[in-house]
Amino acid sequence: MPKHLRVLFLIIGISRLQGMALRLVNERSGITMTELAAQMWSTNSQLTGIITALEGKGLVARERNPDNRRVVNVMPTTQGLAVIQRNIAAVASRYEAQLGSLTPAEHEEVAGIGQPA
């Protein structure tokens, strides 16, 4: 995990797994606990502790699915979305700083990475 993410998570007081869960919840608001556990290669019982911690910090909320009360959906809160947005801004700033010193030819080369030849 990049150092800037570790620092951000340290500042807001969450672990790497909690950060990963927060990112996934942000990408798929309303994801079920079962789907989230599968994406994190975790069990529902392990994930419960992670989500409980994030919920305690006000970063996510759990709600029973109205169509199936046995299913629990997880959504980011306004505070959780703000944390993700700060992270995105920090990453963008870091990339801009690193890419800003490249020549136009180097920009072209970087832009072509991963593209078919």
Please write the tens of the pLDDT for every residue from 10-39. 667 788 889 889 989 999 999 999 999 999
Q: Is residue 3 packed enough to be buried (19+ CB in 10 Å), middle (13-18) or exposed (0-12)?
A: exposed
Identify whether 117 is part of a domain.
Answer: no
Provide the pLDDT for residue 61. 97
Q: How far apart are CA 66 and CA 30, in angstroms?
A: 12
Residue 18 within a domain? yes
Total of domains in the chain? 1
CB 32 within 8 A of CB 73: yes
Task: Output the pLDDT for position 95.
Answer: 73
Query: Which domain range does residue 81 map to?
Result: 3-112
Q: 9 in a domain, yes or no?
A: yes
Rg (alpha carbons) of the chain, rounded to whole number: 18
Give a yes or no: residue 81 inside a domain.
Answer: yes
Asked whether residue 78 is assigned to any structural domain, the reply reads yes
> What pLDDT shows up at residue 117?
62
CA distance 59 to 93: 23
Q: Give yes or no for a contact between 21 and 51, defined as CB atoms under 8 angstroms apart.
A: yes
**Three-state secondary structure call for residue 85:** helix
- Is 14 among the domain residues? yes
> The whole model's pTM is what?
0.72
Confidence of residue 113 (pLDDT cuts 50, 70, 90): confident
